[in-house]
């Protein structure tokens, strides 16, 4: 394919994605699901020639920025606090999916065990993009979003490693469980080590630069270099990208970037991920040929096996950690499959049945599970009272922030005082009105959750100040660790009240 044709097709995909985005704004239809359906329509109608979604394209070009952006915006404190349930869901999800789906398909369909186990590993990564988009629009509990996103980040890396090990064993004809487990840990730890090292190096470089464009360019290089370096040394590039993103997102962004750079960085990566996800979900639809349904019986069995494996993981794991039943149902049905299973299926292009089953499960997951989950979540998490408090709080915060920034601009000489005084009168009125509105909302509604958030915000500010002082050499690491442990205890007590 010539470069000119590729550019034209890329622009056409963007036009389709933008058109779908405009339509769903009016219809409130889930965006990612609408993209898949649009891709199916484009593929069936022949409006565009089939664009090959190769494994190399997905893993080398598409996957690093998606993983980097997700980990960049993941609060490491939230991840630490919820690590036990997240790791339980992620690691058990990969193991149970691989074993249960593998043995189930081997028993019911007679697929060779090695190949059915490979399919089980291939289909285990979850993709919460559309679920989290729904959560954000409905202000669903933040902890539930953290669990779903954290699970996806961890099981992506684990599943890809397990898949690669099983594929290597299948191709060599030698299956050795002990060496497979050892290789799993080596590949994961190696990827994490490289990601942390490269991420820390980028963090130190960013600390000496105050140019948003250069800093963003460094994060792009980091996303791809951490993946490529790890793959060169035959360890997990996926885990390396996640580790690097966590370092820059939680330390580089806080200690090495100005407020304006943080905003630009967030907006830039949001646009990149929006474009990539839009194109990928359309390509999934285009790449899904109707002839896969010659294997409708096998696809049906695979769907049932994947759903059963998900239930076997979610309900026991979340019961151990005492989550409410509603959350269990959402996490169970919210384990949607997306980009990564399709990419892994492309590695087995010669096996038409496995590819058909993978595409069938992904389409069912994104379309049927996605739509039904959207309806369920809208019904269960829509809270008008909470929205009223949040709206009043948002107006008050915005007005106070505007006043603070205006006063700081006057002090720095960027705005002359006579002009600022006129604006301050208007802003002061806005602050007072929003304050009264917030006070009324807090009296009429239960504000316990909001008080918890404020306490958490204050404690996070203390932690940030201590880390900053440690980085500048004002206090020692031992003192910092002691104070940080005390604050972590206070944070845990907030949610135990």
- Identify the pLDDT of residue 490: 76
| Side-chain half-sphere exposure of 13, counting CA atoms within 13 A | 25
Structure tokens at 258: 């100005």
Query: Distance between CA 353 and CA 359 in Å, rounded?
Result: 10
Q: What is the pLDDT of residues 279-338, one digit of tens each?
A: 877 877 777 666 677 788 999 999 999 999 999 999 999 999 888 888 888 889 888 888
Q: Give yes or no for a contact between 159 and 125, defined as CB atoms under 8 angstroms apart.
A: yes
| Side-chain half-sphere exposure of 246, counting CA atoms within 13 A | 21
Listed in sequence order, the residues at least 6 apart from 128 whose beta carbon sits closer than 8 Å to its beta carbon are 148, 149, 151, 152, 334, 336
CA-to-CA separations, 108 to 238, 282, 359, 421, 427, in angstroms, rounded: 33, 33, 20, 77, 69
- Identify the pLDDT of residue 384: 47
Query: Distance between CA 403 and CA 409 in Å, rounded?
Result: 10
The burial of 235, by beta-carbon neighbours within 10 Å (0-12 exposed, 13-18 middle, 19 or more buried), is given as: buried
Query: Distance between CA 67 and CA 53 in Å, rounded?
Result: 18
Low-confidence ranges of the chain (pLDDT < 70): 1-6, 28, 49-53, 128-140, 173, 175-177, 259-260, 288-291, 347, 349-350, 380, 382-390, 441-454, 457-458, 472, 492-497
Q: Is the pTM of this model over 0.75?
A: no
């Amino acid at each position: 394919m010539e470069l000119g044709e590729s550019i034209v097709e890329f622009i056409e995909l963007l036009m389709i994605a933008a058109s779908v985005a405009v339509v769903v704004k009016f219809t409130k239809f889930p965006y990612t699901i609408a993209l898949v359906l649009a891709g199916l329509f484009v593929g069936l109608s022949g409006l565009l020639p089939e664009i090959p979604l190769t494994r190399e394209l997905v893993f080398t070009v598409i996957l690093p920025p998606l993983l980097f952006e997700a980990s960049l915006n993941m609060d490491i404190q939230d991840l630490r606090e919820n690590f036990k349930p997240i790791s339980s869901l992620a690691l058990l999800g990969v193991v149970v999916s691989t074993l249960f789906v593998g043995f189930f398909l081997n028993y019911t369909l007679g697929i060779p065990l090695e190949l059915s186990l490979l399919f089980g590993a291939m289909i285990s990564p979850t993709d919460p993009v559309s679920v989290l988009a729904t959560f954000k629009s409905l202000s669903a509990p933040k902890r539930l979003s953290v669990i779903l996103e954290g699970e996806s980040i961890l099981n992506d890396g684990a599943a890809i490693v397990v898949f690669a090990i099983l594929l290597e064993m299948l191709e060599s004809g030698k299956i050795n469980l002990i060496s497979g487990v050892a290789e799993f840990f080596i590949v994961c730890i190696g990827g994490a080590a490289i990601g942390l090292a490269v991420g820390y190096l980028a963090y130190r470089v960013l600390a000496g630069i105050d140019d948003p464009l250069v800093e963003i360019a460094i994060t792009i290089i980091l996303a791809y270099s951490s993946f490529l370096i790890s793959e060169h040394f035959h360890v997990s590039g996926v885990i390396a990208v996640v580790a690097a993103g966590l370092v820059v997102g939680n330390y580089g962004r806080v200690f090495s970037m100005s407020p304006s750079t943080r905003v630009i960085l967030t907006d830039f990566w949001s646009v990149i991920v929006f474009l990539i996800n839009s194109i990928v979900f359309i390509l999934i639809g285009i790449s899904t040929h109707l002839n896969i349904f010659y294997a409708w019986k096998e696809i049906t069995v695979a769907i049932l096996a994947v759903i059963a494996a998900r239930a076997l993981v979610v309900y026991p794991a979340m019961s151990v950690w005492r989550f409410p039943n509603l959350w269990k149902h959402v996490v169970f049905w919210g384990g949607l499959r997306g980009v990564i299973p399709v990419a892994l299926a492309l590695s087995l292009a010669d096996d038409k049945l496995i590819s058909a089953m993978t595409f069938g499960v992904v389409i069912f997951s994104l379309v049927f599970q996605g739509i039904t989950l959207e309806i369920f979540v809208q019904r269960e998490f829509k809270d008008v009272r909470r929205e009223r408090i949040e709206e009043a709080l948002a107006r008050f915060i915005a007005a106070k922030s505007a006043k603070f920034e205006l006063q700081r601009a006057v002090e720095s000489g960027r705005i002359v005082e006579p002009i600022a005084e006129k604006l301050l009168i208007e802003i002061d009125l806005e602050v007072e009105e929003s304050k009264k509105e917030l006070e009324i909302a807090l009296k009429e509604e239960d504000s316990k959750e909001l008080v918890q958030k404020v306490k958490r915000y204050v404690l996070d500010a203390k932690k940030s100040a201590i880390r900053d002082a440690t980085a500048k050499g004002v206090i020692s690491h031992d003192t910092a660790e002691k104070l940080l442990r005390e604050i972590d205890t206070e944070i845990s007590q907030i949610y135990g009240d």
